[in-house]
Amino acid sequence: MNLFRLLGDLSHLASIFILLHKIQTTRSCRGISFKTQALYVTVFVARYLDLFYRYVSLYNSVMKLFFIASSVYILYLMKYKYRPTNDPSIDTFRIEYLLGPCVLLSLIFNYKFSVTEVLWSFSIFLESVAILPQLFMLQRTGEAETITTHYLAALGVYRALYIPNWIYRYITEDGVVDPIAVTAGLVQTGLYIDFFYVYFTKVLQGQKFELPA
């Protein structure tokens, strides 16, 4: 564990609390992509199967359980409690275009051709693109509630912080590198660049998140 990873994980936690706060206070999941949230459940379940057979640390287990539980809870809120505020007609990204390539990539690139390792790889590849339905929705509507942009910013910061974490680990842990996680992580962080540009130049200056027409 190092500071970058810890702050990254805390940012990830924060993003989930921001999202829950947004849904509960506005009593609405407007502007949130159900597809992206469903992909995150898939990611966490596929990756954290090792909860059943491997113990890393209390921190690790608690975080994994939290990420699974909170992501399932968010789906429940969207699908049942605040269902009328969820508008599937603007959540139109075709996730089969993400799932298919991720299945294929995980079958080719994995650390061992076993069910759990392929699922782990799949979860890494899928996480890297899971935000796309959400960003696509944002692009389509051209605007977002400020709180929703804080959610996305926290998620982006989490991903960005994992990069110095890998550099730090490479230096301090004698050249240790996880090529699958790093490659997918760089792609994932890259997807946030456009968003961050608007976030920093507009939202943090007190303006509404609006994309140019």
Residues that bind another protein (CB under 8 A): 5, 9, 12, 47, 50, 54, 56-57, 60, 63-64, 67, 111-112, 114, 116-117, 120, 162, 165, 178, 181
- Answer whether 127's CB lies under 8 Å from 184's CB: yes
Cβ at position 24, least distance to another protein in Å: 24
Nearer to another protein, 125 or 162 (CB): 162
Nearer to another protein, 60 or 146 (CB): 60
Nearer to another protein, 112 or 208 (CB): 112
Cβ at position 21, least distance to another protein in Å: 21
For residues 162 and 168, give the distance between their C-alpha atoms in angstroms, rounded to a whole number. 10
The β-bridge partners of 209 are 144
For residues 45 and 116, give the distance between their C-alpha atoms in angstroms, rounded to a whole number. 11
Cβ at position 117, least distance to another protein in Å: 6
CA distances 47 to 38, 42, 50, Å, are 14, 8, 7
Question: What contacts 75, CB < 8 A, 6 or more positions away?
Answer: 34, 37, 38, 41
Cβ at position 25, least distance to another protein in Å: 27
For residues 145 and 136, give the distance between their C-alpha atoms in angstroms, rounded to a whole number. 15
Nearer to another protein, 77 or 119 (CB): 119
